[in-house]
């Protein structure tokens, strides 16, 4: 049987949040392309399931009504959260939240976070792809990638048998174990910018906040790690635990066992889980965190999301930053498409644009990893309890933070700022 042959200008491998976002905005620009994923949607993806303000920013650009009509109202599948709760190593609780009771009009429809199983959220995004512009090839796994001249040839297996895709431009949005990364020889784990995490769905966890706060606990027994409880509908929760890979290696920690032991023995967690029931086996995954400045573009190719190591290093959140990268990539590709130039020079500012929103978190993470664990615990106990910290994240400040995510345009600079200034300076010299 002859393989199915497809020829396209742009091919995206991976239909998760990053790849789907890129596809959605390419569709909006009328740029035909192929998007491939090994899975059939809906499908599960091991994750913390938290949707942050970056996610909200991009969703608002996809469709301004999507938050209110498809997230806020989907209470049987998606939880809206008004903030987060830090549980310090000493057991003290610090709530950082918006006063939702005082919110009226459009403010009432603007939660700070959402929690949605990837089974539901990723499927929502895939369904936003315009099939009249994008050729969506699901249940299709790419096995080999070769390049001859300027042309990429992808070979794989689809629902109907073998498939061959010929493309001018290749986008790797297929996660940490990306086949595009493998082809480029870039699949290297940097323990200084990598983490291990586990997740398990539970029902009946006690003492959940009525405003569905996202809980983060810093266990005293294992500094430089964090335990989370994220509320889901129907009394369920995404419960997980993560820590940096260099800490895991240095102390020979089994994250899965440490997670199970914490639930059974930690004095803060014991009363929370005494009547709770696990709904699945513990599942683990690796987290490629931002900080290694992996080159995410080249002549005829680009990386998005986890493939580009874009997980926020302080929170472990990767959905929002992945979607931002998809949005930014689409903007660069629109320009490349108009100019019919997909060479490396068209994407020289891409790395800067996908990393600039993570620079502060990268610096904080490097600082945390440079201090002894006991100092970290003391600092967490002290800093997060202070009046100054709570004032910084006051209700008013948080409201402004939230409103910005819902209303502000995502700025994308396609060229270096200094280059954009040259024409203006010349004009001023000649005619000013």
- Tell me whether residue 233 is in a domain: no
- Sequence-ordered list of residues with C-beta below 8 angstroms from that of 148, at least 6 positions apart, any chain: none
428 pLDDT more than 50: no
Burial of residue 105 (CB within 10 Å: 0-12, 13-18, 19+) is exposed
pLDDT of residue 247: 85
The answer to whether the beta carbons of residues 176 and 286 sit under 8 Å apart is yes
| Beta carbons of 350 and 302 less than 8 angstroms apart | yes
Note whether residue 208 is domain-resident. Answer: no
Q: Percent helix, strand, coil in the chain (nearest 5)?
A: 40, 25, 35
Q: Please, what's the b/e burial string for 377-406 (b: 16 or more CB within 10 A of its CB; e: otherwise)? A: beebbeebeeeeeeeebebeebbeebeebb
Among 163, 123, 173, 168, residue whose Cα is nearest residue 32:
168
pLDDT of 108 reads 56
**Residue 367, domain member (yes or no):** yes
Classified as helix, coil or strand, 101 is helix
Closest alpha carbon to 15 in 182, 172, 183: 172
pLDDT at 184: 85
Q: Are 185 and 56 in contact (CB under 8 A)?
A: no
Among residues of the chain, what percentage have pLDDT more than 70?
88
How far apart (Å, rounded) are the C-alpha atoms in residues 340 and 292? 31
CB neighbour burial string for 21-38, b if at least 16 within 10 angstroms, e if fewer: bbbbbbbeeebebbbbbb
In a domain, 352, yes or no: yes
User: What secondary structure does DSSP assign to 24-82, as a single string?
Assistant: HHHHHTT--EEEE-SS-SS----S--EE-HHHHHHHHHH-TTHIIIIIIT-TTTEEEES
Range of the domain at 186: 4-78+115-190+290-375
* pLDDT 10s digits, 186-225: 666 677 788 899 999 999 999 999 899 999 999 988 877 8
pLDDT of residue 191: 73
Q: What is the pLDDT of residue 403?
A: 80
Q: Are 15 and 35 in contact (CB under 8 A)?
A: yes
Residue 236, domain member (yes or no): no
Asked if residues 273 and 205 have their Cβ atoms less than 8 Å apart, the reply is yes
Alpha carbon 255 to its chain centroid, in Å, reads 21
CATH number (domain holding residue 13)? 3.50.50.60
Residues 284 and 200 sit within 8 Å (Cβ to Cβ):
no
Residues in the chain: 432
> How does pLDDT run across 54-113, given as a tens digit for each residue?
999 999 999 989 988 888 888 889 999 988 898 988 888 888 887 655 554 555 568 889
Q: pLDDT digits over 308-349, tens only?
A: 999 988 888 899 999 999 999 999 999 999 999 999 999 999
Residue 220, domain member (yes or no): no
Half-sphere exposure of 231 (CA within 13 A, CB side): 24
Provide the whole-model pTM: 0.90
Tell me the C-alpha distance between 408 and 413, whole Å. 15
Distance CA 121, CA 200 (A): 18
Predicted local distance difference test score (pLDDT) of residue 387: 55
Backbone angles phi, psi at 326, to 5 degrees: -65, -40
Residue 368 located in a structural domain:
yes
Residue 390 in 3-state DSSP?
helix
Q: Where are the beta strands (DSSP E) in 77-172?
A: 78-81, 83-87, 93-97, 113-116, 134-137, 141-148, 151-158, 161-172
Mean pLDDT of the chain: 87
User: What pLDDT sits at residue 390?
Assistant: 59
Is the bond leading into 42 cis (omega within 30 degrees of zero)?
yes
Rounded Cα–Cα distance for residues 114 and 67 (Å): 10
Specify if 328 maps to a domain: yes
Q: d(Cα 77, Cα 55) in Å, to the nearest integer?
A: 17
Residue 391: pLDDT band (50, 70, 90) is low
- Report which of 27, 298, 349 is spatially closest to residue 171, judged by C-alpha positions: 298
The residue written with tokens 């983060």 in the block is: 216
Split into its structural domains, the chain has a count of 1
Asked if 46 contacts 283 with a C-beta cutoff of 8 angstroms, the reply is yes
């Amino acid at each position: 049987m002859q393989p199915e042959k497809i020829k396209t200008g742009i091919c995206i491998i991976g239909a998760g949040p990053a790849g789907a976002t890129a596809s959605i905005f390419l569709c909006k620009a009328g740029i035909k392309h192929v998007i491939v994923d090994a899975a059939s949607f809906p499908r599960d993806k091991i994750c913390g399931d938290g949707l942050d303000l970056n996610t909200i920013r991009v969703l608002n650009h996809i469709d301004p009504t999507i938050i209110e009509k498809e997230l806020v109202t989907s209470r049987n599948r998606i939880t809206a959260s008004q903030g987060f709760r830090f549980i310090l190593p000493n057991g003290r609780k610090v709530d950082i939240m918006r006063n939702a009771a005082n919110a009226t009009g459009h403010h009432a429809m603007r939660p700070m976070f959402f929690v949605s199983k990837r089974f539901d959220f990723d499927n929502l995004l895939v369904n936003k792809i315009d099939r009249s512009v994008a050729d969506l090839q699901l249940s299709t796994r790419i096995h080999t990638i070769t390049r001859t001249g300027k042309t990429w040839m992808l070979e794989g297996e689809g629902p109907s048998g073998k498939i061959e895709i010929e493309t001018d431009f290749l986008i790797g949005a297929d996660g940490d174990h990306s086949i595009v990364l493998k082809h480029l020889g870039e699949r290297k784990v940097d323990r200084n910018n990598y983490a291990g995490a586990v997740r398990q769905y539970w029902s009946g966890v006690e003492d959940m906040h009525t405003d569905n706060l996202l809980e983060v606990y810093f266990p005293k027994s294992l500094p430089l790690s964090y335990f989370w409880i994220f509320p889901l509908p129907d009394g369920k929760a995404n419960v997980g635990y993560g820590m940096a890979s260099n800490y895991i290696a240095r102390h020979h920690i089994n994250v899965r066992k440490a997670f199970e032991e914490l639930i059974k023995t930690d004095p803060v967690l014991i009363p929370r889980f005494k009547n709770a029931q696990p709904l699945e086996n513990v599942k683990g995954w690796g987290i490629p965190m931002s900080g290694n400045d992996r080159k995410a573009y080249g002549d005829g190719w680009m990386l998005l999301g986890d493939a580009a190591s874009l997980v926020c290093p302080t929170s472990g959140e990767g959905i929002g930053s992945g979607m931002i990268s998809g949005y930014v990539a689409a903007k660069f590709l629109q320009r490349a498409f108009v100019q019919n130039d997909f060479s490396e020079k068209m994407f020289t500012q891409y790395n800067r644009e996908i990393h600039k929103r993570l620079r502060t978190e990268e610096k904080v993470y490097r600082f945390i990893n440079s201090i002894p664990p006991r100092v970290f615990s003391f600092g967490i106990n002290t800093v997060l309890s202070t009046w100054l910290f709570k004032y910084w994240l006051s209700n008013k400040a948080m409201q402004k933070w939230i409103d910005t995510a819902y209303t502000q345009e995502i700025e994308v600079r396609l060229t270096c700022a200094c280059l954009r200034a040259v024409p203006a300076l010349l004009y001023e010299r000649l005619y000013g």
